[in-house]
Structure 1
Amino acid sequence: MPPSTEGPAQVGVLAPSGMLGAGFAPETIERGLALGPDVIAVDGGSTDSGPHYLGTGIAKTTEAAVSRDLRILLKAAATADIPLIVGSCGTSGTDSGVDWVAGIAERVMAEEGLTLKVARIYSEQEAAQLKEELGAGRVHALAPHGPLQPETLESCTHIVGMMGHEPFVEAIREGAQVVLAGRATDTALAAAVPLMLGMPAGPTWHAAKIVECGGQCTTDPRLGGVFATIDHDGFVIEPLDATNVCTPMSVAAHMLYETANPYRMREPAGTLDVSDATYSALDDRRVRVEGSRFEPADQHTIKLEGARVTGYETVSFSGIRDPYIAAGIDRWAALLRVILTERVSQTLGLTDDDYGLDIRLYGHNAILEDIDPDPGPPKEVGVMLLVNAPTQATATAVAKVANPLMLHLPLPEMPYLPSFAFATSPAEIERGAAYEFVLNHVVDVDAPTSMFRIHHTREVSRA
């Protein structure tokens, strides 16, 4: 987007936190408003917590937390007469997630007597339409995935497309004061208004990347969000909390976060290049960045995310403090797997192909496994057994077969029967359907907004 000859000299972006519902101190928002923002932008979701939330269309945040944050931000946006943008609503950006957040916003505005125009942007995709795009050769795999198969699309419970900044700009230009969107790139939320107002793409996208997680680019992320001031030559980042600090190191380091390349990051419209960026301390808490570039793509693409059911899970967790078992815990875990497999075959008539087992030894290589630099014998171990099967009944039956083994299984040479402790009663906890991400593909589009639907709702006010 070329710079505007009539636009503002700079644009301010208030990023209150890394995620709606994560919480922030109200006084940080007050200070942010004093800095003169042109937009409040906050992410509403993430894939960090796995595929369950996309698979089910259920948020990982509680309604009370989202309502609390929205109440503060809606009042702030109304006071400053600036847009409030929330992306990836309901964690995964499904249509139901957008409607869930919109319902909360409507109740909050009615309670506070606010009258604001709200736009919902839906990003959920139909498998049938995507199959047509696939057949036309417009769907491409991202590494390490291979070519997409039509049946993979059909197996997904939910599929979303990841929008860039363009749908936000369109909604705001059509009069929206609050934009609640489905799945979006984290950066698009903060980049939309600066780009719309004529700020150059290089500094804008780089600033948006730095503020995407709120205070993550500060020396104390616990103290709240940040404020970005973008101009035609670069941008300035400062914390919203007056006691917090941004340093050149803390700001530059955020390009390492969730990126395959710390110098280049792809957006639907092109690629941010920060290889020549410079980071300078303006004072003891503010940092200025210059030299960022943005390379427009020859083809605009929309990334797809999809999740499907892989089976049903039941989990058991027991704790081991027996010193002899702990010293030989790897042998014990291997024995548990062998004996459990045999007993499941004998009692349930199931083979290895009928279910899956995952045995995790917390306190002993459960996280790093074989690359743990300190694999010495533990003093105590938490044993997690996770069973996956085509039905919940089968998963639970396998876990029940494991019950006596996870309570008393001795090593072959032991002259006594050890006792362990289950963390819960009943020992078996049914987790329900388990999901996996199965899409890591992009779709070529002719228009940046073509895969998304913008719905403007009525103004909301106290009756």
Structure 2
Amino acid sequence: MQEMRIVSVNGCLGYGFEASSLAAGCELDPAMVGADAGSTDPGPFYLGSGQSLVKPPQIRRDLGLALKNARAAKVPLVIGSAGMGGGEPNLQLFKKILLEIARDEGLHFKLATIHSEIPKERVRDAVRAKKIVPMADVPELTEEAVMDSVRIVGQMGTDPFAHALDKGADVVLTGRSCDTAIYAALPIARGFDPGLALHMAKIMECGAQCAIPLAPNDSLLGTIRKDHFLVRPLHKQRICTPDSVAAHTMYEQGNPHILYEPEGDVDMTGADFEQVDEQTVRVSGSRFIPTPRLRIKLEGARLAGFRSFTIAGIRDRTVIANLPIIEETVRAAVKRNLGGVPDSDYKLGFRYYGRDAVLGLLEPERNNIPHEVGAMVEAIGKTQEIADHVLSLARSSLLHCPFPGRKTTAGNLAFPASPSDTSAGAVYEFSVYHLMDVDDQLALFPLELESI
């Protein structure tokens, strides 16, 4: 093949996209249509709970359009990290919607489902065999952390995708995967340079976010050739520029020059970005460095407790100036009135939006007293009952807490809603965020083929 065209639906399936953009891309004789459908960006809750950040009606709209366009063009539809977290409940939710669409639209195709959930016992054995290393700023993995996890997934690379496509799959639906693997697997399997393929995939996985105006909720066309690739948005009112594409190359990268993938590293220090026409940028010079060992990223989540919170406004500079004293007083009052609940059974947190809620102690303007702040008080307890109890005590104490220079007799807080307190349910935290040595991706990520 002299070139291969690939269409990216958008940055996350369910975020929406211009239907006309996808339709235009599918008229350009692409080899496949791809979409990413998950991430760790929203935190560990969606892996731990098995729920999806993107709601079923959103998934149904985007998936329906993507599936119908890909089937009409007679090219594979490839979807990674289905259902957000990529665990088995996430994957099955997405698959259920896919089958409903196929039934309603009378569509027929070969479906490949690739599972990414990994048994805890297998991960525990890898810990014992010293085949797991931590990511940066992550502690060593313990057997206890593994076994406490609700579920653990592996982030698959290109091999499982390529294997499914080689088996003749018309639709590939996977659990947790590398974003790049969705778009790089087919070009690499067809003999294109892996450095160029992975670099192009890195840009494509966010849809038209590399364009101006940036838009993760729109479609992008990638065209790979022997010594370069091209990217351009599929909406006529968007353009790519060398700056916009180079900037997205560095997006979410700890090292702006190196792209780290299970298959190896992509050295982009020699990458060149060139304007071809008003909408299109040509990229060349990316160099692939094969890895000496195959390593797969693991992600695991465990239950950390249950959350309750309240949000209120403060519009009194004297109250705001005394927040450190008030917070200390409230913490003491909660502990005093909890009636024997151990300190280890709860956590109490305060955020003050308008003062330092985002950066905390790193906020350079923290000591400048604003005229108004929004206070978020959060309790995390061993049970929902404990969390609700702690929050109720904290809210009432904060509302009426005295402080130096106080002139009012009540009401430090203004609540926007009644009831003021919200019981938010389960809280999850990442328990596994490590790399595991692997001999064979195909054995780790089982493939299920069926005719729909």
Structure-1-length-normalised TM-score: 0.94
Change in Cα spacing, 1:449 to 1:89, as seen in structure 2 (3 Å) is same
Q: Confirm whether residue 187 of structure 1 aligns to residue 176 of structure 2.
A: no
Q: Confirm whether residue 135 of structure 1 aligns to residue 128 of structure 2.
A: yes
Deviation at 1:347, TM superposition (A): 4.4
Deviation at 1:425, TM superposition (A): 2.0
| CA displacement, residues 32-91 of structure 1 (integer Å, 9 cap, x when unaligned) | 112221111110101111110011111111101101011111111111111101100110
The aligned counterpart of 1:414 is 406
1:54, 1:86 → 2: CA distance? 17
Deviates more, 1:85-94 or 1:440-449: 440-449
Deviation at 1:362, TM superposition (A): 0.8
2:270, 2:147 → 1: CA distance? 44
3-state SS, counterpart of residue 379 of structure 1: coil
CA contact (8 A) 1:336 1:405 kept: no
The aligned counterpart of 1:271 is 265
Deviation at 1:197, TM superposition (A): 1.6
1:195, 1:384 → 2: CA distance? 49
2:339, 2:281 → 1: CA distance? 64
2:329 to 310, 322, 338: 338
The aligned counterpart of 1:364 is 355
CA contact (8 A) 1:345 1:351 kept: no
Q: How does 1:293-442 map to 2 (within 5 A)?
A: 293-326=287-320, 328=321, 331-350=322-341, 352-375=343-366, 376-419=368-411, 420-442=413-435
Q: Confirm whether residue 234 of structure 1 aligns to residue 228 of structure 2.
A: yes
Deviation at 1:281, TM superposition (A): 0.4
Deviation at 1:418, TM superposition (A): 4.1
1:325, 1:14 → 2: CA distance? 55
Deviation at 1:364, TM superposition (A): 1.0
1:171, 1:321 → 2: CA distance? 59
1:415, 1:210 → 2: CA distance? 57
3-state SS, counterpart of residue 90 of structure 1: strand
Deviation at 1:101, TM superposition (A): 1.0
The aligned counterpart of 1:204 is 197
Change in Cα spacing, 1:334 to 1:32, as seen in structure 2 (3 Å) is farther
Q: Confirm whether residue 174 of structure 1 aligns to residue 167 of structure 2.
A: yes
Deviation at 1:322, TM superposition (A): 2.4
The aligned counterpart of 2:25 is 32
2:358, 2:54 → 1: CA distance? 25
1:296, 1:378 → 2: CA distance? 53
2:310, 2:98 → 1: CA distance? 39
| CA displacement, residues 307-344 of structure 1 (integer Å, 9 cap, x when unaligned) | 11111111111111124323x1xx22432332332343
1:90, 1:347 → 2: CA distance? 40
Deviation at 1:361, TM superposition (A): 0.3
Deviation at 1:133, TM superposition (A): 2.0
Structure-2-length-normalised TM-score: 0.96
The aligned counterpart of 1:54 is 47
Deviates more, 1:390-399 or 1:159-168: 390-399
The AA in structure 2 aligned to 1:334 is I
2:64, 2:334 → 1: CA distance? 56
Q: Percent identity?
A: 36
1:117, 1:11 → 2: CA distance? 22
The aligned counterpart of 2:14 is 21
2:38 to 14, 39, 45: 45
2:327, 2:223 → 1: CA distance? 59
The AA in structure 1 aligned to 2:130 is G
Q: Which runs of 5+ in 1 are unaligned?
A: 1-7
1:237, 1:322 → 2: CA distance? 53
CA contact (8 A) 2:5 2:31 kept: yes
Deviation at 1:192, TM superposition (A): 1.2
3-state SS, counterpart of residue 27 of structure 1: helix
The AA in structure 1 aligned to 2:82 is C
3-state SS, counterpart of residue 432 of structure 2: coil
Q: How does 1:103-142 map to 2 (within 5 A)?
A: 103-142=96-135
Deviates more, 1:247-256 or 1:414-423: 414-423
The AA in structure 1 aligned to 2:261 is E
CA contact (8 A) 2:46 2:53 kept: yes
1:225, 1:436 → 2: CA distance? 33
2:393, 2:26 → 1: CA distance? 60
The AA in structure 2 aligned to 1:336 is E
Change in Cα spacing, 1:347 to 1:118, as seen in structure 2 (3 Å) is closer
Change in Cα spacing, 1:347 to 1:77, as seen in structure 2 (3 Å) is closer
3-state SS, counterpart of residue 190 of structure 1: helix
1:221, 1:438 → 2: CA distance? 34
3-state SS, counterpart of residue 271 of structure 1: strand
Q: RMSD value over aligned CA atoms?
A: 1.5
Q: Confirm whether residue 99 of structure 1 aligns to residue 87 of structure 2.
A: no
2:184, 2:325 → 1: CA distance? 52
Q: Which runs of 5+ in 2 are unaligned?
A: none
Deviation at 1:373, TM superposition (A): 4.0
3-state SS, counterpart of residue 215 of structure 1: coil
CA contact (8 A) 1:407 1:422 kept: no
2:407, 2:244 → 1: CA distance? 57
Q: Confirm whether residue 69 of structure 1 aligns to residue 74 of structure 2.
A: no
| CA displacement, residues 126-151 of structure 1 (integer Å, 9 cap, x when unaligned) | 11111122222222222222322111
Deviation at 1:155, TM superposition (A): 0.5
3-state SS, counterpart of residue 75 of structure 2: coil
The AA in structure 2 aligned to 1:291 is G
Equivalences, count? 449
Deviation beyond 4 Å, 4+ runs, structure 1: none
3-state SS, counterpart of residue 451 of structure 2: coil
2:23, 2:302 → 1: CA distance? 43
3-state SS, counterpart of residue 35 of structure 1: coil
Change in Cα spacing, 1:347 to 1:88, as seen in structure 2 (3 Å) is closer
